[in-house]
Amino acid sequence: MMRPVATGTPSTSTPSLPRRTERITPMYRLAMAATTPVVRWWGRLEVVGLEHLPAGGPLIVVGNHDSNWDPVAIGIAGLPVRQIRALAKSTLWKTKPLAFVLNGMGQIPINRGKGDAHALDTAVAELRAGACIGVFPEGTISRGGYLRPRSGVGRLAAAVPEATVVAVTVTGTVDIVRVPKRPRIRVEFFPPAGGGLTEGEEPGAFVLRVMEEVRGRAPIAIPGRRRTAEKYRRLQRERAAEGVTADGAPAGGGTVVR
């Protein structure tokens, strides 16, 4: 059976997708519409695997994070089926106009690296109400280096065992700012090979398992234009020489992009 694929080129056929059951908030729809020209048309967006997103019920989407455009690309890709409410760094809420937009989109602020129990409790409540929650376990953009996945998504899966877990990879977004080079963005949704959180599996082991599969399909990529990208490459070489990863942990957990 042919899988649904959406691209930047209009199609004469309509793929058979799950019928969306939730209401998309006006702010979310507006934000996706405003960024569609960049992602779908300039970025030649290709979407694969929408059939893996259930149209309703609690859903956890777990993905890689190399560019600030990743949540936008994933949001646009998933819009025909779901509104993805992302756990986003709380510092974004310091700018009042942006905070207004993020709140209208249903995004959830989280204090990175601090075990933010309030944010996780909010995400659990949203999940139990049937929402779709998007999580980047690496916490921030990779900047070309390995970041240890955080166990928060595993705790979400344990707290709401009825939630479906879908992995997502996004590639090509690092090229959006590299004008005149035109990006080719690809978003793929797929069920983890080992399924969701299994009985007796620790949350940390679960997220490592899922992210290993995600990164196997979407290797770490360096964002930014030439000077910024070279700065990140130099930084990763220095950290590799020191034997630490991008988040300061001992090396050995992943591959550094050179």
Contact 72, 136 (CB under 8 A): no
Q: What is the dihedral of CA 91, 75, 83, 152, to 10 degrees?
A: -50
How much is the mean pLDDT over the chain?
86
Report whether 131 contacts 106 (CB < 8 A). yes
Residues of the chain with pLDDT under 50: 1-14, 248, 250-258
pLDDT of residue 140: 82
Angle (CA) 238 67 147, round 5°: 45
| Predicted local confidence at residue 15, as pLDDT | 54
Q: What is the pLDDT of residue 114?
A: 61
Which amino acid type is present at position 112? R
Nearest to 156 by CA among 123, 190, 200, 192: 123
pLDDT of residue 5: 46
* pLDDT value for 143: 83
- DSSP assignment of 81-119, as one string? T--EEEEEEGGGGGSHHHHHHHHHTT-EEE-TTTT-HHH
Q: Which pLDDT score is estimated for 243?
A: 66
- pLDDT of res. 12: 35
- Residue 3: the pLDDT is 44
pLDDT (0 to 100) of residue 139: 87
pLDDT digits (tens, 9 = 90+) for 22-45: 789 999 999 999 999 999 999 999
CATH superfamily of 23-242: Glycerol-3-phosphate (1)-acyltransferase (3.40.1130.10)
- What is the pLDDT, as a whole number, of residue 169? 98
Domain boundaries, the chain: 23-242
